[in-house]
Amino acid sequence: MGFKMKKISNNIFAAFTSLAILLVPQLVNAETETAGAGSGGAAGEAAVNTAIGGVSAGTIAAVVAIAAAAAAISDSGSGGGAITPEPVVEDTTPVEEDTTSDEPTIEEYVTEIVIDIPGSASSTTAGATATRTTGATATRTTGATATRTTGATATRTTGATATRTTGATATRTTSATTTSSQGGAAGATVGTSAGGDLYNVIETFDVEETYDVVETYDVVEEYDVKETYDVEEEYTKTVTIPAVAASTATATATATRESN
């Protein structure tokens, strides 16, 4: 009976050993592929770094566990009292690389701003200056002069002379002779003749005078020429500014913000 049990234990041990030999290459390949797939990240580097001679620690642990289980079965079949060890479970969960960055992601976006444009009431303001006629007239000198008669007359010498009777009479001795003494006016005798003593003839004549020729003329005056003009005034134009209603307008601007 003891011989049969020992033989069965040996067979079981041989079976587990064969199973281990078959599984080791498969596990090695799986570990190698896992390490190759994760070579870009932290998990791939960890799997490669834990491999010993191309076999990871998990593979070695699995082989050791199988061998230990086979030995325990062998000991139990042969009457040994060894305690069967608990199998070691390999944690094959790949370690994911933490790609999360502490720095926030900033994005640029276009925002629309609404601008309130206030209104304004109607108002007036002083504008440019201009001139306009007042409706009144006035006179002013033009700077020119002219002459005009005043309605009065005056006399003036012409520079010529003339003679005129004065209205008085006088006597004068002529070269003619007469025998009449002319009432004694002839004076002394100037000779004798067959008819008697001879006397110069005394004549009476109108007294004449020489005078400057005087003319009568219209009195003329010189005056400043004046003109009548429309009176103008300078004034300031008033500009009326119409009322403007309140309104809004939109504008776009570029800003940045932290994206989720």
- Domain limits for position 67: 2-77
Tell me the whole-structure pTM to 2 decimals.
Answer: 0.28
Whether residues 70 and 140 fall in one domain: no
Residue 44 predicted with pLDDT over 50: no
47 or 233: whose pLDDT is higher?
Answer: 233
pLDDT score for 69 = 64
pLDDT score for 43 = 45
Does residue 218 lie in a domain region?
A: yes
Q: What percent of the chain has pLDDT over 90?
A: 35
Indicate the DSSP class of residue 87: P
Q: 46-83 burial, b for 16+ CB within 10 Å, e for fewer?
A: ebbeebeeebbebbbebbebbebbbbbbbbbbeeeeee
pLDDT score for 11 = 65
Answer yes or no: are the C-beta atoms of 207 and 87 closer than 8 Å: no
Does residue 240 lie in a domain region?
A: no
Which distant-in-sequence residues (6+ apart) come within 8 Å of 235 by Cβ? 129, 130, 131, 132
The secondary structure element, H or E, covering residue 148 is strand 123-178
Does residue 246 lie in a domain region?
A: no
Mean pLDDT over each residue of the chain, to the nearest integer: 77
- Rounded Cα–Cα distance for residues 21 and 19 (Å): 5
Q: Which of 62, 77, 92 is the last residue of a domain?
A: 77
Would you call 183 helix, strand, or coil by DSSP? coil
What are 86-117's pLDDT values in tens digits? Answer: 666 666 777 666 666 677 788 888 888 888 99
Residue 195 predicted with pLDDT over 60: yes
Length of the chain: 260
Q: What percent of the chain has pLDDT over 70?
A: 62
Does residue 30 lie in a domain region?
A: yes
Mean pLDDT computed over 225-239:
93
Would you call 66 helix, strand, or coil by DSSP? helix
pLDDT score for 16 = 67
Pairing of strands 123-178, 191-193: unpaired
Does residue 8 lie in a domain region?
A: yes
Does residue 144 lie in a domain region?
A: yes
Whether residues 68 and 142 fall in one domain: no
What are 56-93's pLDDT values in tens digits? Answer: 555 666 666 666 666 655 555 544 444 555 666 666 77
For 43, other C-beta atoms within 10 Å of its C-beta total: 18
Answer yes or no: are the C-beta atoms of 77 and 8 closer than 8 Å: yes
Q: Which of 31, 48, 77 is the last residue of a domain?
A: 77
Q: Which of 260, 1, 255, 14 is nearest to 111 (CA)?
A: 255
Number of domains in the chain: 2
pLDDT score for 21 = 67
- Rounded Cα–Cα distance for residues 210 and 157 (Å): 13
Nearest-10 crossing angle of helices 57-77, 2-37:
170
Does residue 55 lie in a domain region?
A: yes
Which distant-in-sequence residues (6+ apart) come within 8 Å of 139 by Cβ? 226, 227, 228, 229
Mean pLDDT computed over 155-173:
91
Which distant-in-sequence residues (6+ apart) come within 8 Å of 87 by Cβ? 65, 69
Answer yes or no: are the C-beta atoms of 216 and 155 closer than 8 Å: yes
Q: Which of 31, 47, 77 is the last residue of a domain?
A: 77
Does residue 97 lie in a domain region?
A: no
Whether residues 151 and 218 fall in one domain: yes
